[in-house]
Amino acid sequence: MKHFISVDDTNNIDALVQKALAYKANPFADKALGINKRIGCLFLNPSMRTRLSTQIAAQNLGMESIIFNVGSEGWALEFEEEAIMSGTTVEHVKDAAPIFGKYFDILAIRTFPSLKNREDDYSELYIKQFIKYAGIPVVSLESSTLHPLQSLTDIITISEELGKANITIQRPKIVLSWAPHVKPLPQCVANSFSQWINAWGKADFVITHPEDYELSEVFTKGATITHNQDEALKDADFVYVKNWSTFNDYGKIYESDPKWMLTNKKLALTNNAKIMHCLPVRRNVELSDEILDGPNSIVTQEASNRVWAAQAVLSEILKNNG
């Protein structure tokens, strides 16, 4: 593994999952791997779980981590080639990224989409420019269209649940269910979850959302897609709840009907499904209190697994890039 930007950066999801679970069982097994190595974590946008889990993962591997909130504390970066920088941007990524490449051994970056121009967001210019100019491995901490560390975590969590002694599910039914939200949110988590579950290939995967909330087929191809949430939830083993804004008429809110929020009544349609969400979650908008506080919610377990996903990825990069 050189970079970690999408599922395409691993050729064996299960091996990465097993590596993560081995670190969960023995966090300091590779304590010497990252000695005298440094990871720079650049945040153009806010974060709690990604920031903390990546730092803990690096520390478990003996690495030093440095956080730079470049979005709020750094110079405004320019990403367009040949830009005439007479506006608000102060420093070109072409000048900044090589410096990060000298300061750090691995560069990790969070860059959200603007949700204003789909073509721009889906070009992934920001993270591609860091890869082009930093000259060191780059890890996505969530980019314009994908959130691979979250999706790896989600498969770790599903695998962990399926491995429990009392579980006998051969091929789980996994449902990605759209939920309402008060703000237009990126499609990253839903895109990425779809991409990883499809690539994993070990589940019957169903996506349910209101009309006009189609995601890019680049990520969803292979999944069953329905606007009928009740039908989708029937016999589900895992329900992944997430809001996203519209893809075609980009970045809009068309639907806010609370009937899309998961409740215990809807849970009764499932096969006693485990409920997942990447967090942060708007309680009683996206997910009801009764679900989040109930026995089927595995959101805390899921968030705690972010450490092991990050540790597995950093370990792979350290081993492959000496």
- Which residues, 144 to 163, sit near ligand CP by CB under 6 A? 150
Compute the least distance from the CB of residue 132 to ligand CP, in Å.
Answer: 25
Question: For residues 259-278, which are near ligand CP according to CB under 6 A?
Answer: 278
Burial of 158 (0-12, 13-18, 19+ CB in 10 A): buried
| Total residues binding ligand CP (CB under 6 A) | 9
> Are 259 and 253 a contacting pair, CB within 8 Å?
no
Q: Residue 269 or 279: which CB sits closer to ligand CP?
A: 279
Q: Which of 174, 278 has the CB closer to ligand CP?
A: 278
Check binding of 143 to ligand CP (CB under 6 A).
no
- Contact pick of 29, 67, 279, 285 for ligand CP (by CB under 6 A): 279
Q: How many CA atoms lie within 13 A of 102 on its CB side?
A: 4
Q: From the CB of 53, what's the least distance to ligand CP, in Å?
A: 8
> Order of strands across the sheet with 64-68?
64-68, 38-43, 106-110, 138-140
The separation between CA 63 and the C-alpha centre of its own chain, rounded to angstroms, equals: 22
Q: Minimum distance between the CB of residue 239 and ligand CP, rounded to whole angstroms?
A: 17
Query: Does residue 300 touch ligand CP according to CB under 6 A?
Result: no
> Which span sits near ligand CP by CB under 6 A: 42-50, 93-101, 171-179, 242-250?
42-50
Q: Which stretch binds ligand CP (CB under 6 A): 43-51, 62-70, 252-260, 284-292?
A: 43-51
Contact letters for ligand CP, residues 48-67 (x by CB under 6 A) = xxx-----------------
What is each CA distance from 201 to 13, 165, 172, in whole angstroms?
A: 10, 22, 11
Both tokens of residue 253? 């809110």
Chain position whose Cβ is nearest to ligand CP: 50
**Shortest Å distance, C-beta 49 to ligand CP:** 4
| One-letter identity of residue 87 | G
| Nearer CB in complex with ligand CP: 35/48 | 48
- Closer CB to ligand CP, 124 or 142, in the complex: 142
Q: Angle 125-71-108 (CA atoms, 0-180°, nearest 5)? A: 60
Residue 300 Cβ, how far from ligand CP at the closest point, in Å?
Answer: 12
d(CA 127, CA 96): 13
Closest CB to ligand CP among 37 and 51? 51
CA 54 – CA 257 distance, rounded (Å) = 36
Q: Give the tokens for residue 95.
A: 């000048």
Maximum Cα–Cα distance across the chain = 63
Q: What contacts 67, CB < 8 A, 6 or more positions away?
A: 41, 43, 51, 55
Under the criterion CB under 6 A, does residue 47 sit at the interface with ligand CP? Answer: yes
Closest to ligand CP by CB, 153 vs 173, is 153
Question: Contact positions toward ligand CP, by CB under 6 A?
Answer: 47-50, 142, 150, 278-280
